[in-house]
Structure 1
Amino acid sequence: MWCDGAMASRSDPACDAHPTGSPHDGAFAGARPDGASTAHDPAADAVAALARVVAGVSGGVRRREQERLAAAVASAVDAGETLVVEAPTGVGKSLGYLVPTVLADRGDADGAQRPVVVATATKALQQQLVETDLPRLTALDHQLTWATVKGRANYLCRARLDAIDRGEEQALFTERVDPAAWDRLRAWAEQTTDGDRAHAPAGVTDALWAQVSVSANECPGARRCPFGDVCHAEHAKARAVETAGSVFGCAVGPGRLRWLARRGRPTAGEEPAGRVAEAAEELAGALAQLPVGERVTPAQGPLAAALATAESAVSGLRQMLRGLADDADGLGGGGQPAGDGAREGSGPDAQPASSFDGETTQRAIVDGAARTLLAELAELREHDPDEAVAWVEAGDVGGDLSPTIARWGLPPDAVATEQIASPFDHARQGRLFVPKHLPDPRRPEWEDGARELTWRLLAAAGGRSLVLFTSWRRLHATADWLAQHHAPWTLLRQGETAPHQLIARFRDEEASVLLATMSFWEGVDAPGDACLQVIIDKLPFPRRDDPLLAARRERAEASERSAFSEVDLPLAAVRLAQGAGRLIRSADDAGVVAVLDPRLATADYRSVLLDSMPPLTRTVRVADVEAFLATHLAGA
């Protein structure tokens, strides 16, 4: 299992899996359980093979740091060790661990090649692996195969499209869309073989795609859907299983049950919510009894009983919600509020319909979460008892890897670690700009100052900037403001088309500005002057309503530890480092990372964040940024 990215978790919908018939990507590696070794030198073989792969890449350069990573992975795989590696952006991690894994002898007792799973934190990184990195490895293994698995909403839903065609469901547009783009989408839907949004025509916005896709909460399941046999999402999962054996990625834990209990109390009542809370503690106790580092199954022992209790409690809460909904006539089939987001009429010119009350909305949210959890609990119950169930998570702040190792539940004395330095001279190649003069971003006057400063920075770079936001609201507000002020650059806004199409345009159109949210903080590779500047609006602290993180905060506070220092600050540091890492991608790159949040220069915790970032030369003067960029562009 490889986890590639700043923070990837199986409970995070952004974490997409890459099962392959040969290995893959990440910072967490496990390998040959028999501990067997061979007469050859696996580290030397991996370095030599990596050199051949890099030589075949246009502009490819051998990097000592990348070769060190490949050698460490090869040695760990050969020795059957668990390896945790930390490496900054730009090292070439993907090829660094893919090459030695492809070369490794992964045959089982029957001679079959054991699969490898790569989990990425974003779909952009997934796309980079599939379109760029993995095809390069076929020179090492002509039989190399791979498959991708994404969240259900990334695939065309034939049931939804059929319901629109037969007039049983309206196309519910949340914004005015291009009728020609709708026609192109419909034509593509008739021809596509995989239904993957990544292959949809250009110009398919998020609003358009939402009409022909469903989330896990909305899907009734393949067994109950008349289009289950031709479901693109189910076919993608089947291809992954065929390629990589059994792939199981269900995350059920006490944190989700506690969240459901809290949200369920005001909507379903104290008694059913209390049973869910009790089930959460029973499950926590059962998980605490599991042996560290060993595979477990959900069909045996205390875990089986705890899961059964959880399933019964969640089912009881949902039954109460359904009864309340029937009384209020507020919920339709499938747990969605009647009229939730509904629009009068259909097609691109549809107009908004009336809204519904807040109580019904909250009931629908809890009902949807309960339904998803029940489906996952059922999947656990029906899981083959001969197969393993694993909980996997990756990522941490730079420096000490022991917090990561402890959080994974790995015995520290049985884990090999490797920390790889950056191959770049960041202090010479780039600048880190933090405007101390701006007000605190929690004050309303910050937004006007941040937008005006963004304009000045974009002008200094001539566009050529990736602008990363921590919220959709600020993304749209800034993009609209730039458009209203007739920005002379091509504005590319996340949601206007598929992510990989936006990234391709950003690379190709020199005077372009790409405005995006968290899913673009990783996996965006635009070397050279295509990306001369990365602007980050605010420090990327995690949301307060994430149930998994809420459970971690509760655990820290129960032990009288700082939840902010233990949960929020490390996550922000990793995300900030990943966002800043979009800038310097080669030894010839230069540019500016601008973080428009003065807390990075003034807060007591700033050193934790700064230490995790690339060591760019720091400044608080925008004039220094303008001079640096002007000098670079003059010499380009």
Structure 2
Amino acid sequence: MSFVAERLHSVLAGLPRFEERPQQVQMAMTIERALAETVHAVIEAGTGSGKTMAYLIPLLAHSERAVVSTGTIALQSQLMDKDIRFLASQYGRPFQYAVAKGRMNYLCLEHALEADRVLPPAGEDRTQLDNVMTVWRSGGWDGDVSTLPFKVEGRLWRQELTASSDECHGSRCRFFAECPYIRARKKLETADIIVANHALYMTDVSTGGAILPPHKIVVFDEAHKIESAAVSAFTVQVGRYATRSLLRRVNRRLKEFPFTLEKALADADEQFLTWAEKSPPGSRRLFKDTRLLDVAHGFTEVLEQVADDIRKTPVEHLELFADTPESAKTEAAACRDSLLAQTQSLQSRWQHFAEVLSAPDASDFVQWIEVQEAGSRNEGPLYYLNSAPLDVAEFLGENLWPHKTAVLTSATLATGGSMDYVKGRLGLLHSMDLALPSSFDYTTQCALYCPNGLPNPNTPTYNTAITAVLVPLLQKTYGRALVLFTSYKAMREVAAMLMEANLPFPMRTQEDASRPRLLSWFRGEENPVLLATATFWEGVDIPGSTLSCVVIDRLPFAHPNDPVVQAVVDRLKAQGRDWFNEYSLPNAILSLKQGFGRLIRSRQDTGVVCIMDPRLMSMPYGRVIRESLPPAPIVRSLEAKEIQRLFPG
């Protein structure tokens, strides 16, 4: 037995109901070998395989700093608060661990002081600011917004209480020594295990390692989320909020900001608004647009003038909060540099749009406008321009994989029995690949119900038809169901029809409360029914009989109107490639496996997964999908013996 296998056994053997899991041992030994040989490992490991300990123990045994990156903040918190804390108590030798979060998760004392000077003496913002500063001065809070004992409105936090990298004064800030973000970063320097998330990690990669301490080893848990995190990290975004934020800070800090420049900025913003107002809510792909190009050029020019004015601003024209002449001198330089960085960042983003919108061939990027409904304090809808790379494989292939030893693991990495799709999208050419068999017996623990007689999902009566199937199914399972939809519209229509059916089960939709509250409600009920969309396809962990039925309304092909999907498909078509089998189908399989995985969470769980979409059985590609799912017996009727065995009542 290898050292890692022995250590794994010694750490876990004292747990109640401990069982040796061959999959866990195999995964740990594969990672041990990968680290020793400095090769990448791609490992599909389902629920119940014990993958967290299977990668943590080899990391510690290797005795070299490592980063564990998660796809969600929820898993990041679970690792810190539960898994690593347990391991620290059982491992047999001490080790240091720390969490890595982005700068805007932390209180900026400079901005908080500025807000204290300028906010009205009464009102909700003032009350929340005073509460935050009271907690900070008590010494019992580390400045992380997630650990505040009360909720702060997101708008107030972003605008007044935290700072972006552009706004930060860095080492010249008078609060540098007590800065919550800097304190958190210092903890990373001595950590053996750093727990980050994909968004932060990809930002670190895109900035050449400016965020995380030097390291050679990284584990990506929830690795199926790497590509979307990379695309987000490399996306250029600009909107009206950025302009208003700059104007607000300039007016606060520059005593004599020229009216002509303020008006020029406001005029450019109004020109953008006039153009953007023609877009309906949602997302719309952008092509060559001369009016938007004029907006981009206008912003680029006026922001250059603003930057020049900031450079020339004398110290006496800056609004400073320092108490001594010496500290005022330091603050003045830091303040000027911060305003300049914020201005130049906004200018570079508009310059990017000016370049891609005027380039004869910008097929490597896709641009779109995103329109969000107004919040309670906004004057109107929020408009954002986005420009994203269509392919992150080349960037990751040059800037990540050659410089690290990486372990990628998730319950959903393989499509058609191969990791090639995910590896290709990520530019990962060479790795040890391992698909671990499930520790669950799907042939006896669940059934896959594919109802007979349903129409094509594109027919107008589809939602009515699936509701007619759903009612007797919920009666058979006594509720206890998570019903997953690919659109809000379908969820709302089916929810309305189910309400009319007067089923004797408590029912809620995703729109009735926050995700944590809905999951808490679900766990506390005896026969709950929850209707939800995309965010509930992943990360829902409800073991036991409370969740005995998962329903999926249709195969989760990406929406054809999604700007990024449109652009990727167009690019593949232009290259003469099979866009459906190379892109759309593998993506749908990975999403479907995530949804399916909500049901069986332990060896004691039983239940049924119902996929309503008839294409799973009728279309040629349905076989590829079925072969990628867990090997549950497929039934076409509620009268099937497998259903009767699982639900005998």
For this structure pair, what is the TM-score category when the shorter chain's length is used for normalisation? 0.5 to 0.7
Equivalent residue in structure 2 for 1:69, among 20, 27, 52: 27
In structure 2, relative to structure 1, the CA distance for the partners of 1:195 and 1:56 (3 Å cut) is farther
In structure 2, relative to structure 1, the CA distance for the partners of 1:103 and 1:317 (3 Å cut) is closer
**Which structure has the bigger radius of gyration?**
2
Listed as ranges, the matches of 1:615-634 within 5 Å are 615-624=631-640, 628=642, 631-632=645-646
Structure 1 SS opposite 2:541: coil
Q: Which amino acid aligns with 1:450?
A: I
Distance 2:604 2:288 in 1: 57
What is the aligned partner in structure 2 of residue 266 from structure 1? 289
Distance 1:170 1:392 in 2: 50
On the 8 A contact 2:41/2:407 being kept in 1, the answer is no
Equivalent residue in structure 2 for 1:341, among 369, 374, 379: 374
Equivalent residue in structure 2 for 1:115, among 26, 42, 66: 66
Q: Which amino acid aligns with 2:384?
A: I
Q: Which amino acid aligns with 1:315?
A: W
Listed as ranges, the matches of 1:163-562 within 5 Å are 166=119, 191=135, 193=141, 214=158, 221=164, 223-224=166-167, 243=191, 248-250=201-203, 263=286, 265-266=288-289, 268-269=291-292, 314-316=349-351, 341=374, 343=376, 364-366=383-385, 369=386, 395-412=413-430, 415-479=431-495, 482=498, 486-491=502-507, 493-494=509-510, 499-500=515-516, 502-544=518-560, 549-550=565-566, 552-562=568-578
What is the aligned partner in structure 1 of residue 213 from structure 2? none
Q: Which amino acid aligns with 1:76?
A: A
| Stretch deviating more after TM superposition (243-252 or 573-582) | 243-252
What is the aligned partner in structure 1 of residue 586 from structure 2? 570
On the 8 A contact 1:272/1:313 being kept in 2, the answer is no
Distance 1:402 1:467 in 2: 31
Q: Which amino acid aligns with 2:79?
A: L
Distance 2:63 2:69 in 1: 18
Structure 1: any 5+ residue segments left out of the alignment? 1-42, 107-113, 173-182, 275-309, 322-334, 347-352, 374-383
Count of aligned pairs: 489
Distance 2:289 2:106 in 1: 34
- Cα distance, 1:494 vs structure 2: 4.0
In structure 2, relative to structure 1, the CA distance for the partners of 1:83 and 1:501 (3 Å cut) is same
Distance 1:446 1:186 in 2: 53
Matched, 1:592 2:627: no
What is the aligned partner in structure 2 of residue 105 from structure 1? 63
Distance 1:472 1:167 in 2: 40
1:296-324 CA distance string (max 9 Å, x none): xxxxxxxxxxxxxx998743366899xxx
Distance 2:488 2:419 in 1: 32
Structure 1 SS opposite 2:2: helix
Structure 2: any 5+ residue segments left out of the alignment? 207-229, 239-283, 298-344, 357-368, 390-398
Distance 2:526 2:132 in 1: 30
What is the aligned partner in structure 2 of residue 111 from structure 1? none
What is the aligned partner in structure 1 of residue 40 from structure 2? 82
Structure 2 SS opposite 1:67: helix
1:28-73 CA distance string (max 9 Å, x none): xxxxxxxxxxxxxxx6222233233443444442221222111211
Distance 2:128 2:529 in 1: 26
Distance 1:254 1:464 in 2: 37
- Cα distance, 1:89 vs structure 2: 3.4
Distance 2:129 2:521 in 1: 20
1:464-517 CA distance string (max 9 Å, x none): 222222234444554555456555334454466654554444344332234333
Q: Which amino acid aligns with 1:316?
A: Q
What is the aligned partner in structure 2 of residue 380 from structure 1? none
Aligned-residue sequence identity (percent) comes to: 28
1:172-203 CA distance string (max 9 Å, x none): 9xxxxxxxxxx99997997594677866789x
Structure 2 SS opposite 1:118: strand
In structure 2, relative to structure 1, the CA distance for the partners of 1:101 and 1:622 (3 Å cut) is same
User: TM-score normalised to the size of structure 2?
Assistant: 0.61
Equivalent residue in structure 1 for 2:9, among 36, 51, 56: 51
Distance 1:191 1:477 in 2: 45
On the 8 A contact 2:485/2:553 being kept in 1, the answer is yes
In structure 2, relative to structure 1, the CA distance for the partners of 1:552 and 1:240 (3 Å cut) is farther
1:270-319 CA distance string (max 9 Å, x none): 58889xxxxxxxxxxxxxxxxxxxxxxxxxxxxxxxxxxx9987433668
On the 8 A contact 2:543/2:605 being kept in 1, the answer is yes
Distance 1:248 1:456 in 2: 46
On the 8 A contact 2:38/2:405 being kept in 1, the answer is no
What is the aligned partner in structure 2 of residue 286 from structure 1? none
Structure 1 SS opposite 2:286: helix
Q: Which amino acid aligns with 2:602?
A: S
- Cα distance, 1:566 vs structure 2: 0.9
On the 8 A contact 2:31/2:407 being kept in 1, the answer is no
- Cα distance, 1:610 vs structure 2: 1.0
- Cα distance, 1:570 vs structure 2: 0.5
Matched, 1:129 2:79: yes
Structure 2 SS opposite 1:249: helix
On the 8 A contact 1:85/1:418 being kept in 2, the answer is yes
- Cα distance, 1:365 vs structure 2: 1.9
Q: Which amino acid aligns with 1:140?
A: Y
Equivalent residue in structure 2 for 1:602, among 618, 621, 624: 618
On the 8 A contact 1:185/1:201 being kept in 2, the answer is no
In structure 2, relative to structure 1, the CA distance for the partners of 1:549 and 1:629 (3 Å cut) is same
1:301-360 CA distance string (max 9 Å, x none): xxxxxxxxx998743366899xxxxxxxxxxxxx999x96154xx7xxxxxx9856xxxx
What is the aligned partner in structure 2 of residue 33 from structure 1? none
What is the aligned partner in structure 1 of residue 220 from structure 2? none
On the 8 A contact 2:296/2:353 being kept in 1, the answer is no
In structure 2, relative to structure 1, the CA distance for the partners of 1:439 and 1:254 (3 Å cut) is closer
- Cα distance, 1:533 vs structure 2: 1.3
What is the aligned partner in structure 1 of residue 332 from structure 2? none
Distance 1:634 1:438 in 2: 25
Distance 1:490 1:60 in 2: 36
Listed as ranges, the matches of 1:91-102 within 5 Å are 91-102=49-60
1:196-217 CA distance string (max 9 Å, x none): 7866789x8xxx96555659xx
Q: Which amino acid aligns with 1:117?
A: V
